Amino acid sequence: MEGSEDAYVGYMTIRFNPDDKSAQHHNAHHCLEITVNCSPIIDHCIIRSTCTVGSAVCVSGQGACPTIKHCNISDCENVGLYITDHAQGIYEDNEISNNALAGIWVKNHGNPIIRRNHIHHGRDVGVFTFDHGMGYFESCNIHRNRIAGFEVKAYANPTVVRCEIHHGQTGGIYVHEKGRGQFIENKIYANNFAGVWITSNSDPTIRGNSIFNGNQGGVYIFGDGRGLIEGNDIYGNALAGIQIRTNSCPIVRHNKIHDGQHGGIYVHEKGQGVIEENEVYSNTLAGVWVTTGSTPVLRRNRIHSGKQVGVYFYDNGHGVLEDNDIYNHMYSGVQIRTGSNPKIRRNKIWGGQNGGILVYNSAISCIKLRQVYIQPYTVS
């Protein structure tokens, strides 16, 4: 009420258990609501709601800027923490778990600071930012949520730094429908689907992360996805370290992509992109695959020590391969087949146990030999 804008609420259990758990007989749908121009401290509280609409904690409106710390927001029948309509606030060291919808929603220019929260075992997504939601998320542990650990949609633009996002029942990070965001120095691992999904004209920055041991791929860009994938360590994933398909066109640079159980980079179904100055090595299948009408530019990469081909163009794979160092593969350095027609120039291709460049099965290629080192191979 008036005069309580800076109240302290601490060491309490707050429950909202309406007889009618839907919206039929009450206007307020939240266990704890903080509105415009309020800056309370909520400390060491247990917050529970059995209402199937609204949220357990709602922070909304210009000037809503609470400090919520050491609270437990769990076992609720809707969203755990909902920050919207230009609200801000500091949210530290909370446990948010087993909620029916997202652990945290950030919407409509909400811009919280969220540090060291433990967001886990949700029955939906861990954190959902959408409709221009923002926020700074640091050192959170986000795991074992039923859908993605972190979802970004509809012009949302969060900054996510040094978090662990792991053991998601689907993917780790899902950016779609023109989502953005900066994901920096996170550990993203052991998710059932790809560590990072980017689709439908989304354009995030994925920089300096470790993306590893996923049950599918590392980074999966599809359906007109874009994005900057830079300086990441991507390894040990069951499918390709980076997969680009269906007219997607990311910038992929300065990454290490290695020790995958599949290929390093897989570009297919008219995938595009600029792939430059990466180190791709020790993958089980080809270091780079380009196929089915794809046209990436691969420039100044080190592609080496693979257990099959270095770079493999097939089934109408095209694009440009220039100024790369391709070496020490179990098969040939480059293979081109079945209607493929890449431009290959100024590469150093050496040490392949089955030859340098192998062209066969109706493939065509423009190969410029100036400043190129090729180990010869003859097809009998």
pLDDT at 221 over 80: yes
pLDDT at 343 over 50: yes
Identify the band that residue 380 occupies on the pLDDT scale cut at 50, 70 and 90: very low
pLDDT at 379 over 50: no
As to burial, measured by CB atoms within 10 angstroms (0-12 exposed, 13-18 middle, 19+ buried), residue 149 is: buried
- Judge contact between 89 and 65, C-beta under 8 A: yes
Q: In the chain, what is the greatest distance between 2 CA atoms, to the nearest angstrom?
A: 90
Rounded Cα–Cα distance for residues 280 and 193 (Å): 22
**pLDDT mean over 41-62:** 96
Comparing 11-25, 152-166, 342-356, which segment has the lowest mean pLDDT? 11-25
- Say which DSSP state 107 is in: E
Return the pLDDT at 368: 62
Return the pLDDT at 371: 42
**pLDDT mean over 185-205:** 98
Rounded Cα–Cα distance for residues 197 and 216 (Å): 11
DSSP string, 72-105: EEES-SSEEEEEETT---EEES-EEES-SS-SEE
Residue type at position 147: I
Q: Which domains does the chain have, with CATH numbers?
A: 1-193 (2.160.20.10), 241-379 (no CATH)
**pLDDT mean over 283-301:** 98
Mean pLDDT, the chain, as a whole number?
A: 94
pLDDT tens-digit readout, 70-79: 999 999 999 9
pLDDT tens-digit readout, 94-144: 999 999 999 999 999 999 999 999 999 999 999 999 999 999 999 999 999
**pLDDT mean over 207-236:** 98
As to burial, measured by CB atoms within 10 angstroms (0-12 exposed, 13-18 middle, 19+ buried), residue 165 is: buried
Listed residue (67, 73, 66) closest to 45, CA to CA: 73
The backbone torsions φ and ψ at residue 337, rounded to the nearest 5 degrees and listed phi first, read -150, 170
The more confidently predicted of residues 71 and 379 is 71
Rounded Cα–Cα distance for residues 283 and 262 (Å): 6
Listed residue (326, 337, 226) closest to 274, CA to CA: 226
